[in-house]
Structures are given as C-alpha cells and as structure tokens.
Chain A
C-alpha cells in the first residue's frame, strides 16, 4: 500500500512562507483596493447625490416660483383687484371669483380661501369658512411684515377644521392703484404637493433618505428607505445645518450621525430639501467588490498553494531522495548510490554523497583491518607475555647446562637471545632509548651470526647520544631481519650490515645497509610511495601474499602511527646492496625524551 506522503520539512516551510507572503500581499492589496474603491465610491456617491439634492432643490425652487406665479396671477386678476376697490364686487362677481380660484394652475390644492378688504371670504362652494374663523386663525400673522411675498408655512389647519398639519401658501393682496386695505390669499396644499419632489428620479431616491424641512425645523415631507431611521441626534444636526439664511446648496457632504447630509435651501420660502446618504449606502457598493475579491483571492491562494507544492517538490524531491538515502544508510550498505539529474547544484551534492560513501567505505575497511591487526598484535603480545620469567629462567637453566657441557656457542646464543628478549618483552613501553634499541639489534645480529656462521659481519655507528635519544622500539631489528632474509639469500658468507645513526636537518636518520642483493627498483618504488597512501594500502603493497614483508609493513605502520606522516621510510638500491633509510623528526624524538 502506498504511503501517503505528508508535507513537511523544507516544503512545509516553503509553503508557509509562500502563504504568509501571499497573505501580506493580499492584505495590502485588499487595504489598497478597499481604500481606493471606498474613496472612489464615496466620491461617486457623494457627487451623485450632491447633484440629485441640487436637482431636487432646484425643483423646490421651481415649485416655489410656480406658486409665486400662480398667486401673482390671482393678485393682478381684475376681479381680485375689483374686490379691493371701494365699489367692491357684485354678488355674481363674488360667486365668479370664488370659482376662479378653483382653476388656479397648481396641482395638489386641498383648499383655498381669499379674503378681500371688505371681510368677504371666497372659498370652494362646499367649504364653509367665516371671516371670524379666518381672523382668529392667526394665519394673517404668518405672513409677517412682507408686503406681498409668497409665504410658505406649515400650520395646523384652523381654517378648514381638519386640524391636521399642512403646508399653506399665503400672500397679501394689495390694490394696484390705491393705498387701500389689504386682502389675503391662503392655499392649503395636499401632502403630495411636496412628495412629488422626492420622486424626481426613482433611481436616486431608493438608496437615500430625502425630505423637506421648513425654516422652523419641522420636517414636512420625507421619503426614507425601509431600513433607514432618522435618529434624534441626526435630526438635531439636520435642523442646525438647515437653519441658515443662505440659499442654494448650503450643506454639502456634511457628516452627521448615520450618514452624509446635503441641504439645498430655497431662498424665498426658507424650506430646505435635504438628502441623507446612509453610511450603509457607501458600503453597499463595496460588498460586490468584496465578493469579487474573495473569489480572486481564493483562486490566487489555490494557485499559490498548488504552484508552491509543485515548485517546492521540484527542489525537495531530490532532497528527499538524499534524505531518504541518508536515513536508510545503516553503515553496512555502501552500494546505495544516489542518481540525481536535476541540472542543479543538487546533482553535485548527490555526487559528493556518493564519493563520501566510497570514502567512508574505504576508511571503514581500513579501520577494520587495523583493528584486526591490533587484535592480532595484542594476542601475540599476550601470548608473548604469558610468563617472561618462565622464559628467562628456562634460558638460564639452558645456559647452565651449556656451561656444564662447555658448549660455548650455545652459551653465546642464549646470552644474545636473553638480551633480545629482555628488550622485546620485559620493558613493556613502546619507546626506548636508542642504546636499548641498538643493544636489541646487536643481540639479534649475534644470534643470526651464530645461526649463519660467516654469513655476514656488522658494524654500528652512532653519532648521537644513545642514552638520551628515545625512539620507537623494534625499528631496526625487522629491517636487519629483512636484510639477512632477502639481501643475503644468495650468499653464504662475506655479507656486511652497517648500521649508522646521525642527525640531519632536524631529522634523526637511521640507516641500515646490507651488502647483499639489491632490492628491485619496482619494489623500492612501491615501498617508497606508501608514505602518502592509507596504511592499509601499504599492507596490500608490501604483503601481497601476507607471508613476506610483514616486518617492513609492521615498522612502517608503527612509525606512521607514532610519528605521523612526517617520517620518511625508503629503500634505496645500491650497486652492492640495499640501504634502508628512516628519518624521524628530531622534535618528535626530543618530545619522547621529555
């Protein structure tokens, strides 16, 4: 069953950062777009309703002037003027005049009354209005000091008995020719008279609250959206804004509680048309924007996530391969090679990993071999150290028997072997004085001279103080052994071994010359090249069959382990033999001394 792969690690971080960046970008974009759109939307809406309010205000102007014209026509009407003359009107003329007003060119008239300067009252035929009712209604006072201006005012209906608050249009009626008493004309308007202004354009009025307010702050007519409610605070602010003597668009885009206010004040009447744009209207247009943005952002986020996964996958897949290979590597299986073909730096990393694996494998094998050797050495050491005293006592016993039997050669050999073993076994320490080392090799050569009579002679020359110079033990013996074994393999006598020790350029030089067979050039070159190669390679090179050359390999390995890579170990074929030269840094030698 295929395991469901989780998004984690580098890919997860990549995804998180991408989404964070996208979120910040979208946040800024949202803020920017919202800000811009709000500003733009606000500008468009305010301009639109400023225009609408002014348009409605101008309609209010027109409506006022219409009432002015209509009432002016009444005032200059011959019968009206005749009613003010001293002669007055006949009954027939009075009846005609009452009917005349019914034909005023003005819509939405509810009632009217004209009172001449002789207390005659002219109304609709079915309307009963006495002069006494008229004179006590207080309506005359509503006209103030104005000579004959058209006055709009809102009042309770005390003329026609309905007591409802209505809009009235009133005007004093003067004689054109003589300074006579004045007459009065009042027209009561239906509510539709002003309502019509608010339906100037239905496309405007559905979103905003509109109305008409009189100079005293009484809201005469309104047209509010269903969701709108004019708060007390907003109403007070409206009254305050409209209570100015100026005319025209007196308030534009004023912030009030719940919205923006526009007021157009009609000059002559003092009535004002107002428009309130509720705050919700400004945001209404943004909702659609938010919906579109939400869709765009959703698509952008999905795309970003998919792209992020795809892009990150391109990077993380080889990383995962590397990671998996590393995780699965148990230290044994070096054959798990990574093959990457991404044409990126990751290919180099894969290649380096493979090389590293090879290197580790090589080192591991070397370490294993070294450990094996070490265990082998340690075993030998243990075996050799089983009971040195027993060996010495045995050798003493053999020596005594040889002495009793007067076997001189045996006695010499046992003495030499005893010296040799004392240095090899009894000391324990790896570092010995050059004196002991020379004593050891001399004992060995003496033993070999007894074994191989007349095979070789030897000489030892030391230009340094052997008591104060410390070196790794058993260096010279294996070389001498090698010289006897291979150098003198073809002779039976006359061989010569010269051991020389001197100092040269901060190095302690140990030279072992044998006059036997010269070493092969190839063999010498092979051994000399081992200096910069792994130790294990040396073994392979020197001990191809693991039977011969173990001593040389042992010396070289021990020297490199003790003194590092600064030592020199080389075989030099001579015309009449072979030299083996060992150079050890004097500093290392002195350190041992210390």
Chain B
C-alpha cells in the first residue's frame, strides 16, 4: 500500500513539475525582425505630366536588376514638371527631407552654391579619383562641367554630353505646307521661315513665359552665340550686367520670338507649349534629346529635329549631374555612389550603342539628333547654370510676359535683369 502511495505521489510530482515547467516557458519570445540586407537608396523621379512617362525608369530598372539583393533604388514616382521638382527640392532641403540622390541641383546656381557651402551634398571627388574606371568613362568636358569652382566634384556626372544637347523640334508637315523643305541653316533664314509660316497662317513657335522661360530662352541664347562675343557672354558665370551688346541682342530676339507664338504662351509653362506643338498648332518647339522619348507615337513621322541655326546646340552636361545628400548614412551614401557610377556606365553604353549604329539603321528623330550632334559647330552653355536664380525664377517670368505683351521695351527688360543681379548680390 505504501509503495502504491509513493508511486502516486511521485507521478503527481512529475506531472506537477512538467506542468509548471510548461507554464514557465516563454510563450512570447523576444525577437527582433531580421533586417533586410538590401540597402535602399531613396530617390524621387518625376512622371511627365504631359506624357505620363516615367523619367529614368529604364535606368532604375537596370540598376535594381544589376544589384538585386544588394542595393535597391527606392524610387518615389511624382507627377510633376521639372520646374516643380526643382521647387520641391528646395522645400525638401529646408525641411531636411531630401532623398539620398537629387538632380537638377546646378540648374539654379544659388541653390547649388548653398548646397555646397552648407555641405548638404557629398563631395564625390575622392570616389571618382580613386576609381580610374569610373573616371575614364566620363568625357573631359562633362567632368569639367561637373567640377565646382572650388575644384571638387559634387555632381555625379554622366558619361557623355551627347545626350545633353538641345535644338529645335519642327513639324515637317507644317513646314511643307508653308513651302519650306528643310530647317533653316542661318538665323536670318530662321526668321524668314517664321515669316513664311506666319504668312501661311501657321504659328511658327510654341513658347511660354513661366518657369525660367526655357523655350524662348533656349532659342534666344542660341541666337546670340553666333558670334564669339555672344558665345563668351553665354559662358560667363553670373554676369554682372546684361547691358551689353549680346544682352541687347538677346532681349531683342526674345521680343521678336514672341511675335511668332501662340496667344496662350503668356503666363503659361512649358507644358502648354508642348501641347501646342504636338497638336499641330505651332510648327517649332525647342528642347533637348530627352524629349525624343516623349514624342507621341503618331507624331514620330511628322516631327523632325535639327540643331539651331549655324549648327548651334545648347548644352551644359553638369545639369545632368546628380548629387548625393550628405545627411544620409555612410552605408546609403556608398550605395548611392555605386548607383552614380552605374549611371555613368549606363550612359556610356547608351552612347556607344547609339553611335555604333550606321545612319541607315537609325530612324526618325534619333537619326536627326545623331546628324545634328555630329554636325554641331557651337555648343552654347545652358543659361540656367550660369545666371542668377532671381533672374531665372522671378525676373524672367515677369519680363518675358511683359515683352510678349509688348508692355516693356528691350531696355526695360535689361534693367529688370540687372536689378536681379543687384538683388542677388544682396542676398549673398
């Protein structure tokens, strides 16, 4: 009987201990979520409001594919114009919410200067200098353009300037309707073409006044670079005065351009001009290589591309330089550097593929662009990287509208430009 009692007691104890030990188990385990090894690089790319095209989509896809499992370009697609992007860039900067990679930094010199002086963007010189492969991929002109006045490189360069040039897109059907067979070779012919088109009731130019006045300013800055003096004027950084021969010629040409454009050009932005061109309202619109991809499919056979008269093209490769924001972690910044290098290589590959094709293999606008780029005699710097931000953001919009409306004279236009210089200098 005692033995049986002992067995019962022992069994009970074992059971009890088992139950208690089971109770003691941590049913809730403290564990951390395994962090992903993939380093994400935040970036904002725009979606063109007019065409709906995702800019840089192929580049991002190629990078993410090439670096799958290691880096990931975490793109936020934002439907906005380039100008809106630039405005947001400044807002994001002062609110410390910039993505890791930003672009269009140098299109406003004061902003570029502020970003450098506040050490908001990373000095890429050590990376490029320590990486011969990367450096060799960059054309000297591009590298020079991306080098800041202190000798450092803050903008991750593309490989070539080949795809940075701007010229004129023109409607072949409208030209033919006006009896014009080819794009004018000289500026005097350009104005004659405008007259011919105008005489036929065709609006020659798709222009606008808002933003930095990209379309009219491209044509006008290209038009004054037909002389060495004009070219030198355009190469000048932050001119002290616009009251020069070239300046006057520039303003005169601007005034003249607005005689050949649509009425809705005043107080409208580039998207209105774009719309006017691709609806057949206007016969010409200036822009760069990048717009070839944005041409509606049905317009491919009707639109041609040419350099500005006198084989002139506008280009500043540094505007295509992308910067890395310094406030990010070293890990993300190194990943961003890797991306910029990839971009250079990607761009180099594009160029090699593009120019490796025989002319008979290239069709339409690409063939026109290849021909224009290969024939170009003058590259005029982009005014956006040379002139002060007040002029670009405040004065030009106002002055262009007034000029288009014939409300101000060329002298008054120049005065407004010079006032911007004074104001800008004050801010410095």
A-side interface residues toward B, CB under 8 Å?
24, 27-28, 31-32, 34-35, 38-39, 42-43, 46-47, 50, 68, 71-72, 75-76, 85-87, 146-149, 173-180, 246, 248, 250-254, 260
Contact = CB atoms under 8 A, between A and B. Distances in A.
B389 A177 contact: yes
A251 B15 contact: no
B180 interface: no
Interface string B5-44: 0001000100110011011011111111100000000000
Contact of A42 (B28, B93, B120): B28
B28 A252 contact: yes
A148 B25 CA distance: 48
Interface of B: 8, 12, 15-16, 19-20, 22-23, 25-33, 90-91, 93-97, 108, 110-111, 113-114, 117-118, 120, 327, 389, 426-428
Contact of A43 (B12, B28, B120): B28
B118 A179 contact: yes
B98 to A, nearest CB: 9
Nearest to A45: B28
The 7 closest A-B pairs by CB, nearest first: A148-B96, A253-B28, A179-B114, A72-B95, A176-B90, A179-B117, A35-B23
Nearest to A182: B118
Given A24-B12, A46-B28, A252-B28, 7 more contacts: A24-B8, A35-B20, A76-B91, A76-B94, A146-B96, A147-B327, A175-B114
Given A39-B23, A177-B114, A254 B30 contact: yes
Given A176-B90, A177-B114, A180-B427, A39 B28 contact: no
A411 B93 CA distance: 171
Q: Which of B22, B30, B95 has the most CB of A within 10 A?
A: B95
**In this complex, which of B25, B28, B91, B97 has the most chain A Cβ atoms within 10 angstroms of its Cβ?**
B28
A228 B120 CA distance: 49
B427 A38 contact: no
A345 to B, nearest CB: 23
Nearest to B31: A252
17 contacts: A28-B16, A32-B19, A35-B23, A38-B23, A39-B22, A39-B27, A46-B27, A47-B28, A75-B95, A174-B93, A174-B118, A177-B114, A179-B117, A180-B427, A248-B33, A252-B30, A253-B26
A149 B27 contact: no
A50 B31 CA distance: 13
Contact of B91 (A32, A34, A86, A176): A176
A50 B30 CA distance: 11
A250 B113 CA distance: 41
Contacts of B23: 34-35, 38-39
Contacts of A175: 94, 114
B90 A42 contact: no
B422 to A, nearest CB: 11
A177 B427 contact: yes
Contacts of A24: 8, 12
A27 B96 contact: no
B405 to A, nearest CB: 26
Most buried by B among A68, A75, A146, A176: A176
A157 B327 CA distance: 30
